[in-house]
Amino acid sequence: MSTKSAIILLSGGLDSATTLAIAKNQGYDCYAMTFQYGQRHACEIQAARRIATAFNVLEHKFITIDLAAFGGSALTDPALAVPADRTDISSEIPITYVPARNTVFLSYALAWAEVLGLWDIFIGVNALDYSGYPDCRPAFIAAFEKMANLATARAVQGQGTYRIRTPIIEMTKAQIIRRGVELGVDYALTHSCYDPDPAGRACGRCDACRLRLKGFEQAGLRDPVKYVNNQ
């Protein structure tokens, strides 16, 4: 592949939309990959579609994975309630943690990268806001990258080196939002809430909403998405 191309893991949330904008700004032709895994916030899937269209991705692949069968997370297991109004979001691994989620996601992206013949995979993980998620930390990303270069035919044959790109890993939510606005991200297209109402409006109370609202507040901007209580 002669042009500079990359796969972007696109959830439909604020972080991955910004990551896509950064990849485009760095000159990459972008392929988007979105996972449907029985999560309750299926609004994210529609958001991912809107964002991919807005940024003219070359191809948008939707992968259905059955993480729900594994249970163990409030995002995938209907028997567990999504926590609301937690006072200290970053103090421990939250119940919304999905076992090995980013490992599974990056593994699919790696397979697609090998088929497409490209070397760069962007993922919008963030080690500050989600410090409770082990698979959002730089140490995990570095270990995955090393494994990827031992796992795949093209890398082992010396044709190149896979890189897992994490441009927002050390940014605060406010920094992410400011950078996205600079790059033309329309955050009205995104969806972050873990527990939206039937109309798709954000709850304003789950961890994702609270982090997002705090980020917009600290960035001195108003969040353009709709909230249940018109925040």
Establish if 128 lies at the interface with its own copies (CB under 8 A): no
Smallest gap from residue 186 Cβ to its own copies (A): 29
Residue 155: partners with Cβ closer than 8 Å, 6 or more residues away: 148, 149, 161, 162
| Selected binder of its own copies within 1, 58, 81, 143 (CB under 8 A) | 143
Q: Whole-angstrom Cα distance, residue 133 to residue 41? A: 19
Both tokens of residue 180? 């996205």
Residue 230: partners with Cβ closer than 8 Å, 6 or more residues away: none
Q: Are 96 and 82 within 8 A, CB to CB?
A: yes
Q: Give, as ranges, the residues between 11 and 70 that touch its own copies (CB under 8 A).
A: 61, 63-67, 69-70
Residue at 58: amino acid letter: L
Establish if 83 lies at the interface with its own copies (CB under 8 A): no
| Selected binder of its own copies within 150, 158, 222, 229 (CB under 8 A) | 150
Which of 50-58, 100-108, 209-217, 218-226 is the region at the interface with its own copies (rule: CB under 8 A)?
100-108
Three-class SS of residue 35? strand
Question: 20 or 109: whose CB is closer to its own copies?
Answer: 109
| Selected binder of its own copies within 28, 140, 187, 227 (CB under 8 A) | 140
Q: Whole-angstrom Cα distance, residue 62 to residue 170? A: 28
| Residues found near its own copies in the complex (CB under 8 A) | 61, 63-67, 69-72, 93, 97-104, 107-108, 110-112, 114-115, 134-135, 137, 139-140, 143-144, 146-148, 150-153, 155-157
